Structure 1
Amino acid sequence: MSSAVSATPTDPTEMALPRQRGYWGTVGYRLRYDYITLFFLAVLVLIILSAVFAPWLAPFDPYRESIIRRLKPLGYMDQYWLGTDELGRDMLSRLLYGGRITLTMGIVPVIIATLVGGMLGIVAGFAGGVVNMVIMRVMDVFYAFPSVLLAVAISGAMGGGAVNGMIALSLVFIPPLCRVAETATTQVRNLDFVDAARATGAPLRKVLWHHVIGNVLGPILIYASSLVSVAIILASGLSFLGLGVKPPDPDWGLMLNALRQSIYVSPLVCAMPGIAILITSISMNLVSDGLRAAMDVRA
């Protein structure tokens, strides 16, 4: 009489193997347990959402002035939670609206520079030869100038303003992004799977899209994310120097410039725009570092 066969395997080799994660699954798994990155990502999301929904969150009109309420302290009359500025305008409302302009001037130039610089770098790295030399020598011309001075010079020559400031910052960030894209593409184009794709007669468009761009996009995006905080600081610096946003529009850098004369009268109120820039920059830097660590497959 035969004995019943157990449905549960007793040999460890018959146990089911753990499910293998793909590349992006591994990245997500690493980020899920990186609590510092998640915390500052939440801070960054709150800052962005507060700027997007500023018309609904701001308690007062950010342009409304009142001479009798100039430079009031935090919590004044239980209505002005962050006090008022040198013209009696609500600081909380102006910070919320100022975040929309400052974040736009920090994010849009990086997006433009990533598209333009990344494309030029990929073309230079994949084509090589004369094409690479021409593109990279043009980029080297921009490297001859410090980024801050170059942004000030371009914005000043164009006459200032938010749009001209974003154009200036875009031109400043194109060379470094082009360099990163060119370096990554040069490394990828000589790998075996790219040579195999060429040997099979695959069209150049498919080789670029499926084999080259897919493998260089990660380093480009990581470096681009690290430039957002730099762009925010440079954009605020342009506004502080009068080459960016024009009054009375709220901008964190412009608010710092307007309040610097009153720092001894109401230091906490005057420090608010600087604190907003600091928190946003630190959050963006730490999120970028966490993303870089999570995407490093060698770690």
Structure 2
Amino acid sequence: MSTAISDTTPPALAELAGPAQRGYWGTVGYRLRYDPVTLFFITILVLVILAAIFSPWLAPNDPYQESIIRRLKPPGYRGHILGTDELGRDMLSRLLYGGRITLTMGILPVLVATLIGGGLGVIAGFAGGFVNALIMRIMDVFYAFPSVLLAVAISGAMGGGAVNGMIALTLVFIPPLCRVAETATTQVRNLDFVDAARATGAPVRLVLWHHVLGNVLGPVLIYASSLISVGIILASGLSFLGLGVKPPEPDWGLMLNALRQAIYVSPLAAAMPGIAILITSVSMNMASDGLRAAMDVRS
């Protein structure tokens, strides 16, 4: 007797059998496919990222070209679709180029911190004992300080700049990612299938790779995706305070700082970098929430 689901199978039974046939990642994709809210915000993120990547081809003007006679002009003035900034530079071009720097400073530290913090968390959770206590107590030292103040202090001590800002953000994100990975690994290491793998004499590296990482990777990636929006806001904050990207490089935080004095003269120009930060961070948060719901096997 065939076990395949025929065309005459009741819809309720087909829905119950579907996840088993699709597998875990197939089920995640199936859930995302029928989640219009998450798909909407993912689409916005993709458009923002593509606009930043292809900014040299999409930008209508040179983002560094200044003109005193074109200062703070309204949208549509002589080909400037979004107007000009306080130095007469094209706003649209600077927003596109600024997205490259801001997104890089927000995403790259999270990726590096995921590798370092996730690796340390897996080691701490799987080894336990003294190794766990040593790693987690070091992480607790960083937890003693608010993330914003810690990023400002580290970046300021290193002298500011885009590279130093990304190093500061990486150090800020390592402790929470380490804790998430350590918690997930501690929950997995004593499960039956891990004990069975150990009993067969499998090397530790194979147990970690084939049995532990697969169950730890999901929670770590979900949490890391939620940190990207925080990274974008913190990176913009560092540039706003003068501890991140230096002028005349376009950056959303730096643009926000430069245009804050023009808010009464040209409020739209002053608000545009903040709107870009808001749209990107909210879209990232909503996409992360949707991804978490899709990856939750209990829902």
Give the TM-score, by structure 1 length.
0.94
**Aligned residue for 2:75?**
74
Report the counterpart of residue 21 of structure 1 in structure 2: 22
One-letter identity of the residue aligned with 1:50: A
Superposition pairs of residues 242-261 of structure 1, within 5 angstroms: 242-261=242-261
Separation in 1, partners of 2:234, 2:43? 24
Structure 1 unaligned segments of length 5 or more: list them. 1-8
Matched, 1:96 2:93: no
Partner in structure 1 of residue 107 of structure 2 = 107
Letter in 2 for 1:73: P
Matched residue SS, 1:120: helix
Give the aligned length: 287
SS class of match (2:243): coil
Structure 2 matches for 1:148-167, cutoff 5 A? 148-167=148-167
Provide the C-alpha distance between the structure 1 equivalents of 2:177 and 2:203, rounded to a whole number of angstroms.
Answer: 27
Residues 113 and 25 (structure 1), Cα distance of their counterparts in 2 relative to 1, 3 Å cut: same
Pair 1:260–1:204, CA change in 2 (3 A): same
Q: Secondary structure at the match of 2:139?
A: helix
The normalised TM-score by structure 2 is 0.94
CA distance in 2, matches of 1:202, 1:159: 48
Cα displacement (A) at 1:182: 0.1
Bigger Rg, which one: 1
Q: Counterpart of 2:169 in structure 1: which amino acid?
A: L
Matched residue, 1:239: 239
| Secondary structure at 1:249 match in 2 | coil
Question: How far apart are 1:197 and its partner, in Å?
Answer: 0.4
Residue-by-residue CA offset, 1:166-189 (whole Å, 9 max, x unaligned)? 000000000000000000000000
Residue of structure 2 in register with 1:61 after alignment: 62
Match of 1:52 in 2: 53
Paired residue for 1:34? Answer: 35
Which segments of structure 1 move beyond 4 Å, counting only runs of 4 or more? Answer: 16-19
CA-CA distance at 1:21 after TM superposition = 1.8
The DSSP-based 3-state class of the residue aligned with 1:297 is coil
1:171 and 2:171 matched: yes
Q: Deviations over 1:51-87 (max 9, x none)?
A: 000000000000000000000011112x111110000
Deviation of 1:41 (Å): 0.4
Say if 2:240 is the partner of 1:272.
no
Q: Give the aligned partner of residue 6 of structure 1.
A: none
1:65-124 CA-partner distances (Å, limit 9, x unpaired) = 0000000011112x1111100000000000000000000000000001000000000000
- Indicate the residue corresponding to 1:189 in structure 2: 189
Q: Distance in 1 between matches of 2:157 and 2:9?
A: 73
Secondary structure of residue in 1 paired with 2:97: helix
Q: Which amino acid aligns with 2:42?
A: L
Query: Which residue does 1:124 correspond to in 2?
Result: 124
CA distance in 2, matches of 1:37, 1:159: 39
Aligned pair in 2 of structure 1 residues 194, 40: CA closer, same or farther (>3 Å)? same
Over aligned residues, Cα RMSD in angstroms? 1.5
Equivalences for 1:286-297 in 2 at 5 Å?
286-297=286-297
Sequence identity percentage: 83
TM superposition shift of 1:12: 7.4
Q: CA deviation at 1:45?
A: 0.2
Q: Secondary structure at the match of 2:225?
A: helix
One-letter amino acid of the counterpart of residue 135, structure 1 = I
Mark the CA change 1:127 to 1:12 in structure 2 (over 3 Å): closer, same or farther.
closer
Q: Distance in 2 between matches of 1:94 and 1:50?
A: 12
Residue in structure 2 matched with residue 3 of structure 1 by the alignment: none
The DSSP-based 3-state class of the residue aligned with 2:22 is coil
